[in-house]
Structure 1
Amino acid sequence: MLDVIKKITDIDFFKEGQNEDLFVGRPYSINYNKANLLISDFWKHKVKGIPQGSFLLAFYDNPFEENIQEALLLRVLNPSALPTDNNVISSMIEYYKDDLNTSGKKSELDDFTRYEFSFSGLECRILGAFYRVGNNLEFGADVENFYAAHNYKVYKATSKILELIVNQRDKDLVAGGENEFPIGTVRYSSTRRFYATDDSVKNVKVFINPGDMLGKRTALFGMTRTGKSNSVKKIIEASVEISRKSKYKS
């Protein structure tokens, strides 16, 4: 268990989170609640997909203010419209009318057109911000300030960074402690073409503290046959285990 705690806490968040292999795009508009991103098919494929509901991190990247270490936590919602979409759609329709191949190895698109067609928009909700205070990494569940959209680069959260996000705790509590138990791993969708080969996501454990649920109303939501009953079983097992460890016996 100590290895789990060390793995989660011993992270250089602002270094490991900005892995260029996980770059997915840049915002073209941003406010206190939402960010719209420019993404491309190449970037999406490189990071093994961007499922709806997945976590992204928008890191503030201004060379004139290197002392600011801040990253906005984003959650993917839906596609968004780009200012150039009407032109792209018009061109695409003309290709369709001319019965030209626009996909596959026999594509008749020129390189420039194929490049332009590969871009799309992505709408994300801003859940909060990670920032550094001294040597401590803090998380706020809102946005104190935001800068011009071009100052941010967005990366997909995976591996240790994703494990830190999904196991974020209030105060100084650390996930994976003595009274916490792994309830499962991160899974964004029922479709698993990318997921099956993406160890950076499917091996990320989610821990719970049964004490957070005891004596409280707890609701469990999910699609049919996605493990709700098994989750309840695991929570009960964890609660029984806490009782077994308690020094106060009835």
Structure 2
Amino acid sequence: MTLARAIRDVLTTADPRRKVKLARSAARRWRRGDLDHAFDVAMPDAPGRPREPELLPPSRMPRRGKGGSERGRIALLHALAHIEFTAIDLAFDMAGRFGCDFPRGFVDDWMSVGADEAMHFALLDRRLRSLGSRYGALPAHAGLWEAAESTAHDALARLAIVPMVLEARGLDVTPATVARVEAQGDIATARILQRIYTDEIRHVGLGTKWFEYRCAEDRIDPETSWQKLVKRYFRGQIKAPLNDSARASAGLTRSYYDSLVR
């Protein structure tokens, strides 16, 4: 089995539990040296998706509130589970689509990220089930894969947008969410979110590391290049307030994003 074929199996699998299992297995087999470092098959244009949840455009997504009630907490957990489910594919696609253009350590890093995202999804889905729900019970955001589609041709753009914008946003909002669910007495959910937050600092750091590596190879300024790529490929806005300390610990300093904050 080659690395690319193992990654493709993860990406094309629609069933959530099987995707988690394959993701963990692929990361473990790569770490053990059981997969050939070969890119002999192309990555799919889009990953497999289960019949549920129903995917809606952002304008049609119901407002979920701040999780004050059990119903609100289920909506919050479901939205986060969908983000982590999509993040499994984003990480494995990063390794499979662009790994041939980077040193082996690039694959090491993004396979480990994929395993983290699979674990995050499993934790959130288990928590949903403990509250009498499940992943797929509510509608979910249809636009999360768009960042992958728009940057499928450009590793530098993918690194700029997915870890350094989308995951970095998690660093901004998660601490307040953790504090809120703790105040509501939901310690189990708070612990899961804190674990995800800690891992996401590492993920953003890996994105920054490999972005700067490629910029050094291409002899271009990383901060100016990142700003140009964000303006071109990111449809939203980088909104204050930002978690500057967590971003800085991931190497994403204010000099990257200060001029783009709204």
TM over 0.5: no
TM-score (norm 1): 0.30
> Using CA pairs below 8 Å that are at least 6 residues apart, which structure has the higher relative contact order?
1
TM-score (norm 2): 0.29
The structure richer in helix per residue is: 2
Mark the structure with the bigger radius of gyration: 1
